[in-house]
Chains A and B, each alone.
Chain A
Amino acid sequence: MSLHLRRRSFVLGSAATGLGLAAGVRPVFSADAPLKVGFVYVGPATDNGWSYRHDVARKEVEAAFPGKVTTSFVENVPEGPDAERVIRQLASSGHGLIFTTSFGFMNPTLKVAKAFPKVKFEHATGYQTTPNVAVYNARFYEGRTVIGTIAGMMSKSGTIGYLGSFPIPEVVMGINAFTLAAQKINPNIKTKVVWVNSWHDPGKEADAAKTLIDQGCDILSQHTDSAAPLQVAEQRGVHGFGQAADQSAFAPKGQLTAIVDNWGPYYIERVKAVLDGTWKTHNIWHGLKEGMVSIAPYGPDVPEDVKAAAEKVKADIAAGTRHPFEGPIKDQKGQVRIPEGKHATDEELLKMDWYVEGVQA
């Protein structure tokens, strides 16, 4: 059973009463009632990207614990004060475990968690933990090393286009991991970055994709949410990579593969921990090894040798024999940032604000 709380409709329907959320959510007092798990999404559950992948995981949780767990979700929750009300509402309506799935929900989550010490909270992509707030994140850059390898092998022009949202460490480390992997195949690879200054503006993403293709890029990579760049790639006969979810429906030939967020196994593990009474706070950053980051099936245009190379990179990263940021790594000015024999630490990655050589951003 799932309860779908459409945030927008209650904003409209009950603007006067403020939060109409309570209408569908009733507190649970009985001890053997099913565990209620709440999810808070920053976008629509149908965005075919970030929030959609969290919602897929929510459904996996429901399927994994028939009769023992019920879930509810609130979508389109803006990051900020509004989020606090939504999270508080979930906490006060009998939810035992709440996943808040966007970075900007950090402070509201911490605040509500303080008031509800018995409720467990899981905050995605944050960094602050408390006894009842755990944080989790995925090493997406590992996936970018895999697709960078494919790009390095398949680009004929040697120029790759990269659509960025905002120059924050998460995006910067992705650009760098991608470029380093491509350069390992072809040292002359250049990555042209265009900032769209939005996570979600299909029109502008399409414009940026067209611009990059016009400037000689024959492969596109993106760190924005819509499938528009892939659609442009398909129309123009070049290739690209899906973001967050398999977007091959929009580019059956154009999508080489996609980095897919795979939250299900982690969510199931954490729900089980709450049911067993073994839940403890932690701060984890999982990647290809744990399966939190996975790679979509390869498109029809990916040759066998490229597939094999990509699979090898995937296996090596999962086995720990290859690190996406192996020294020596120089920045754009030629200064050595990661010395030979070392690799970037997690701390360095989370603060990354410089680009590797060959990136034009």
Chain B
Amino acid sequence: MSLDIVVPVILTVISAATPLLLAGIGELVAERAGVLNLGIEGMMLVGAVAAFAVAHVTGNYMLAILVAAMAGALLALIFGVLTLTLVSNQVATGLALTLFGIGLSALAGAGFVGSPIAPLPKLEIPGLSELPFIGPILFHQDVLVYLSVALTLGVIWFLKRTRAGMILRACGDSDVSAHSIGYDVIRIRYLAVLFGGVTSGLAGAYLSLAYTPMWVENMTAGRGWIALGLVVFSSWRPLRLLGGAYLFGGVTILQLYVQGMGGIGVPAQVLSMLPYIATIVVLTIISAGPWRGRLDAPACLGKPFRPAT
């Protein structure tokens, strides 16, 4: 592969990985706090339709992104009320949230099908954007791509280096202990779930503004579920999530590329499985290697918490 082919391939990989990373990082934080939210797909779709509607009507992309984040958070709030305040089953509620999001976004977006918008503008950094090779890759992306990486780094710092991050992890690992030393587990979990809603909304906005600037029903096409899988793959570590999202995006694009080159004598269906196989293989290696024992899920993941009164 010559250099002028490598650059566009990497750009395609970045656009494939960004929505997975955005949706995944929020879910990771929610799960670290002990809440399993299976509604990512629904929150993404609602974010996508909200972003598209605002961008289409006002032409203001920053506002569109903001509204998408709020729309995602609103859905997450519903989830929070149901699972945290009313202590309903997280798995069932999350699935219902996905169904609800699919239906709601289809209803809200019916009037926008078939009307295109201009893609989310890329940020030009004078001098740097024109650099060969690294210019287009590092310094000529849209704001959501930068945000996805910045959020990941922020979450690493937050979980590892801050007191608040430690408290959040405590809620996920032992809700009873966190509660007994005086932390408001429910409030912390609410915040974590809302953060998940915000980033899922952003992931949806990336789909409908940048990836494919259009609105069509169900345009996430299962990316919410892949993001969910990547959180497990990452063993709840943000840096591994970043790697996982780019690995998955990379292998997806690579298999399309190999098909276009005439294939390697392998049926297209097998090539389509590659991203999934690659993820499983890496997961197996991680869990079998010297890092064993570090795959543990947050101990209280998915378990309802009812503070003793």
The residue from B213, B218, B259, B269 contacting A231, defined by CB atoms under 8 A apart? B213
Q: Mark A183-211, 1 if CB is under 8 A from B, else 0.
A: 00000000011111110111111111011
B293 nearest CB across to chain A (Å):
36
A252 to chain B, nearest CB (A): 9
* Set of chain B residues within 8 Å of A208, measured between Cβ atoms: 256, 260
Q: Mark B35-61, 1 if CB is under 8 A from A, else 0.
A: 000000000000000000000000000
A214 beta carbon closer than 8 Å to chain B: yes
Give CA–CA (A11, B96) in the complex, Å: 11
A167 sits at the interface (CB 8 A): yes
Interface residues on A, range: 35 or more
Tell me the smallest distance from the CB of B64 to a CB of chain A, in Å: 18
Set of chain A residues within 8 Å of B223, measured between Cβ atoms: 203
Residues from chain B with a CB closer than 8 A to the CB of A6 are: 107
* Contact of B260 with A212 in the complex, beta carbons under 8 Å: yes
B256→A207 contact, CB < 8 A: yes
Distance of A205 Cα from B253 Cα, bound (Å): 11
Q: Is B257 a contact partner of A228 (Cβ separation < 8 A)?
A: no
B214 interfacial contact with A, CB 8 Å: yes
A200 close to B218 (CB less than 8 A): yes
Closest Cβ–Cβ distance, residue B171 to chain A (whole Å): 32
**Given known A9-B107, A12-B103, A46-B110, contact A202–B214 (CB-CB < 8 A):** yes
Report yes or no: B262 in contact with A360, Cβ–Cβ below 8 A.
Answer: yes
Q: Is the CB of B103 within 8 A of A8?
A: yes
Q: Are A211 and B253 in contact (CB under 8 A)?
A: yes
Does A48 sit within 8 A of B, measured CB to CB? Answer: yes
In the complex, A227→B219 CA distance in Å?
12
CB-defined contacts of B218 to chain A, threshold 8 Å: 200
B 183-216 binary contact with A (CB < 8 Å = 1; else 0): 0000000000000000000000001000111101
User: Are B113 and A46 closer than 8 Å at their CB atoms?
Assistant: yes
| B113 touching A48, Cβ below 8 Å | yes
List the one stretch of B8-16, B123-131, B137-145 in contact with chain A.
B8-16
- Cβ of A157 within 8 Å of any chain B Cβ, yes or no, is no
Contact A211-B260, Cβ < 8 Å, known A204-B252, A226-B216, A228-B212: yes
Provide the residues of chain B in CB contact with A227, threshold 8 Å: 116, 214
Q: Closest CB-CB distance, A66 to chain B, in whole Å?
A: 26
**Total cross-chain contacts (CB, 8 A):** 116
Residue of A nearest to B206 (CB): A203
Contact for A211 among B102, B103, B110, B256, CB less than 8 A: B256
B229 to chain A, nearest CB (A): 16
Which residues of the other chain, B, contact A212 by a CB distance below 8 angstroms?
260
A194 to B256, CA, bound (A): 6
Q: Which residue from chain B places its CB closest to the CB of A214 in the assembled complex? A: B8
Report whether B221 and A195 are in contact in the complex, using a CB–CB cutoff of 8 Å.
no
B219 → chain A, closest Cβ, in Å? 5
Chain B interface size range: 35 or more
Q: Which parts of B97-122 form the interface with A (CB within 8 Å)?
A: 99-100, 102-103, 106-107, 110, 113-116, 119
B5 in the interface, Cβ–Cβ < 8 Å? yes
- Per the 8 Å Cβ criterion, residues 5-34 of B in contact with A are 5, 8-9, 12, 15-16, 19
B134 CB, nearest partner CB in chain A, Å: 18
Q: Is the CB of A250 within 8 A of B214?
A: yes
**In the bound complex, do residue A201 and residue B103 qualify as a contact, i.e. CB atoms below 8 Å apart?**
no
A167-B268, A206-B212, A207-B12 in contact; A46/B217 too (CB < 8 A)?
yes
List of A residues within 8 angstroms of B260 by Cβ: 161, 192, 194, 208, 211-212, 215
Q: Is the CB of A249 within 8 A of B116?
A: yes
Chain B residues in 8 Å Cβ range of A226 = 212, 214, 216, 219
Chain A residues with CB under 8 A of B212: 202-203, 205-206, 226, 228, 231
Residue A14 CB within 8 A of the other chain: no
Known: A227-B214, A360-B262. A214 touches B5 (CB 8 A): yes
B235 on the A face (CB < 8 A): no
A231 and B253 in contact, given A203-B221, A211-B12 (Cβ under 8 angstroms): no
Q: Flag whether B272 is at the interface (Cβ < 8 A).
A: yes
Tell me which of A161, A204, A227 has the highest count of chain B C-beta atoms within 10 A of its own C-beta: A204
B261 interfacial by beta-carbon distance below 8 Å = yes
CB-defined contacts of B216 to chain A, threshold 8 Å: 47-48, 200, 202, 226
Which of A's residues lie within 8 Å of B, judged by CB?
6, 8-9, 11-12, 43-44, 46-48, 161, 167, 192-198, 200-208, 210-212, 214-215, 226-228, 231, 235, 249-250, 360-361
Q: A48-B114, A48-B216 are in contact. List 5 more A-B contacts (CB 8 A).
A: A12-B103, A201-B221, A203-B212, A228-B214, A360-B262
Q: Supply 30 A–B pairs (Cβ within 8 Å), ascending by A.
A: A6-B107, A8-B103, A9-B107, A11-B99, A12-B99, A12-B103, A44-B217, A47-B113, A194-B259, A194-B268, A198-B221, A200-B218, A200-B221, A201-B222, A202-B216, A203-B19, A204-B252, A207-B252, A207-B256, A208-B260, A211-B9, A211-B12, A214-B5, A214-B8, A215-B261, A226-B216, A227-B214, A231-B116, A231-B212, A361-B268
Top-8 shortest CB links A-B? A195-B268, A201-B221, A202-B212, A46-B113, A228-B212, A8-B103, A211-B256, A194-B259
B residues with a Cβ closer than 8 A to A are 5, 8-9, 12, 15-16, 19, 99-100, 102-103, 106-107, 110, 113-116, 119, 207, 211-214, 216-219, 221-223, 252-253, 256-257, 259-263, 268-269, 272
